[in-house]
Amino acid sequence: MTLRLQLRDYRLTTAEILYRLPDHPALLQTYIWQNMDMAPSFPELRRFLDFWTRSLDGRLHSVRVAQQARLAVPSVRHAGAWLTIH
């Protein structure tokens, strides 16, 4: 399913959502959302944020979005160090 979405230009999208706590509006809380979505319109993220504003009490402060590159080849790296903690 993921490959099929990637072929349609969907990519793994992560959004860091900052919102105000309903009982303490001066405090901000973080929520991390992750799903397959398509830039630049982000229909899945917009659907989620619409649900948030309709259904949840925490007022949105800001949203920061990052996306994975298109069809990236998986990479393997060797560990630079091996540590043992007793």
* pLDDT on residue 59: 95
Q: 43-58 burial, b if ≥16 CB within 10 A, otherwise e?
A: ebbeebbeebeeeeeb
pLDDT in tens, 5-18: 777 788 999 999 99
> Would you say residue 72 has pLDDT above 90?
no
The structure tokens listed for 55 are 């259904």
Confidence of residue 78 (pLDDT cuts 50, 70, 90): confident
* pLDDT on residue 86: 62
pLDDT in tens, 18-69: 999 999 999 999 999 999 999 889 999 999 999 999 999 999 999 999 987 7
- pTM of the predicted structure, to 2 decimals: 0.75
* pLDDT on residue 24: 95
Per-domain residue ranges for the chain? 2-67
Which neighbouring-strand residues pair with 67? 13
- Cα–Cα distances (Å) from 54 to 2, 9, 10, 19, 68, in that order, read 29, 28, 26, 14, 29
